[in-house]
Chains A and B, each alone.
Chain A
Amino acid sequence: MNRILRYTFRERVVHWAAAVSYVYLLLTGLAFWTPALYWIAVVLGGGYVSRALHPIVGLVFAVIVLWMYAMWRKDMRVTAGDREWRAAMAHYIRNEDHLVPRAGRFNYGQKSLFRVMVWGGVALLVSGLVLWMPEAVPRDLRAIREIAVLVHAVSALVTIAGFIVHLYMGLAVVPGGLKAMTHGDVTEEWARHHHPLWLDEVDKSP
């Protein structure tokens, strides 16, 4: 069967670098978020080590997300077709894919995840810098510190919502999704089903 390159080597590396750093941040962040999950920090080397590494890995994640943004920004633009897709999203959720408008390289859901991760990442970075070195924020500006704890938690929760959907879709709902991101190529049939407009483009290009 004809196989088509969906993700270049560079795209896969960036994706998995983001994935690994995000999961580390998620796990250590959850440990600090609630005592019920503090054991995660213990498993990952202790609370002290987790607290020391979390912001550094956070910087790494920020750089990777920036790279990802530069790489996929064009592909992630929302089009008129995406708005139709959004209107038909209930069908997509019910796996009635024949009732969903044809998607391009990324469908509206993937584009939404991209935006959640980029803007969530910006909010996490800015608030995280404040949380990293609270003693560097003057006492008179402590409102910044007080707001940062909320911003960090809320934006993390928003990215977690996106992450749960992403993980579930990629691993469980869309067969071949994980393989596409690890090996890079997909079958023509897969492309026709999930991203027909993209397949048209690929077919047209020399």
Chain B
Amino acid sequence: MSTLDIIRISASTPPAPGVRHQPTVTKLIDTTTCIGCKACEVACQEWNDLPPEPTTQSGTYQTLPSMTANFWNLIRFNEHEDEGALRWLMRKDQCMHCTEPGCLIACPAPGAIVQYSNGIVDFNQDECIGCGYCMTGCPFDVPKFAPATRRVYKCTLCIDRVGVGLQPACVKACPTSCLEFGTKDDMLEVANRRVEQLKANGFPDAAVYDPPGVGGTGVVTVLAFGSQPELYGLPRDPVVPRTVQVWKGPLKWIGNAAMVGGLFAAAIHYIRYGRKHESDPSVHV
């Protein structure tokens, strides 16, 4: 991927330099065939060469309580009781690569967050100022702050692999093919086919999770209990927080207009009324 693929840049008013059109890439996560082996976690750590992360034992098979700055791919082990039967709803948690990325919208550092023509949202940590606004902007709680570098990290969708025609490391490692990678159209087709299968086999609520509130995501998830995404730790209807939208949208323009207007008003006042004169004879004593 190069600058020719950059279609959106954080905190930049000039248009992004991208001129290429590429099909949107998508990772499909089929939670119904995930066996919780964590091969994807290992592959992610290995490919990205991330330092190991100490963990805490909290009575679950989950590697860590949540993703961290050095751990971008976490299988969440959710337990759910369904008519007396215990269901183990494993879900691969990672950056969703939103079409409308809240992180990028909230970011004040020019170039620290970019979106590529194939849909990948990536952080450039060298431009990151460590403010953490992306963490507030993200509806999925993905970006993680590293105190040591005071910058924020997350899944890159293996942009360095995808850019040269390889699939992401996690997909490569998945032994059950519950992870697939391809164009968004292809992945949605696979996902919908799978949902039909599930519906015909006792999971009437099965659905594809591709939330429209963030313009759809570059990571779509097949859920057996699709009407209850909360069971998987997914927000029901994620959107970029309204306050962030107001702050980066109308408030910015109102504020800028008010500040420029204030300076302008002062200049006009000075031209019209000028300075006060204490020797002014009209002054009462």
Contact = CB atoms under 8 A, between A and B. Distances in A.
A201 interface: no
Secondary structure at the B interface, as helix, strand, loop or mixed, is loop
A99 B248 CA distance: 44
Contacts of A98: 280, 282-284
A131 B255 contact: no
B135 A134 contact: yes
A189 B279 contact: yes
A157 B207 CA distance: 45
Interface string A35-55: 110100100001110111000
B276 A157 contact: no
B243 interface: yes
A54 B282 CA distance: 47
Contact of A50 (B129, B247, B270, B275): B129
Could you say which interface size class chain B belongs to? 35 or more
A97 interface: yes
Contact of B266 (A35, A47, A168): A168
Nearest to B254: A157
Interface string A164-194: 1100100011111000000000000110111
A176 B278 CA distance: 10
Nearest to A186: B278
Interface residues of A, number: 51
Nearest to B69: A135
Secondary structure at the A interface, as helix, strand, loop or mixed, is helix
B275 A173 contact: yes
A186 to B, nearest CB: 10
A190 B277 CA distance: 9
B258 A36 contact: no
A97 B275 contact: no
A149 interface: yes
A160 B246 CA distance: 19
Given A93-B269, A135-B145, A157-B259, A48 B150 contact: yes
B251 A154 contact: yes
Interface in A141-163: 142, 145-147, 149-150, 153-154, 157, 160-161
A48 B285 contact: no
List of 9 A-B pairs having minimum Cβ-Cβ separation, nearest first = A193-B278, A47-B129, A134-B132, A51-B129, A35-B11, A32-B108, A168-B266, A146-B241, A146-B243
Interface of A: 31-36, 38, 41, 46-48, 50-52, 93-98, 102, 131, 133-135, 139, 142, 145-147, 149-150, 153-154, 157, 160-161, 164-165, 168, 172-176, 189-190, 192-194, 196
9 contacts: A34-B256, A38-B11, A47-B127, A48-B150, A97-B283, A98-B284, A102-B284, A172-B266, A196-B285
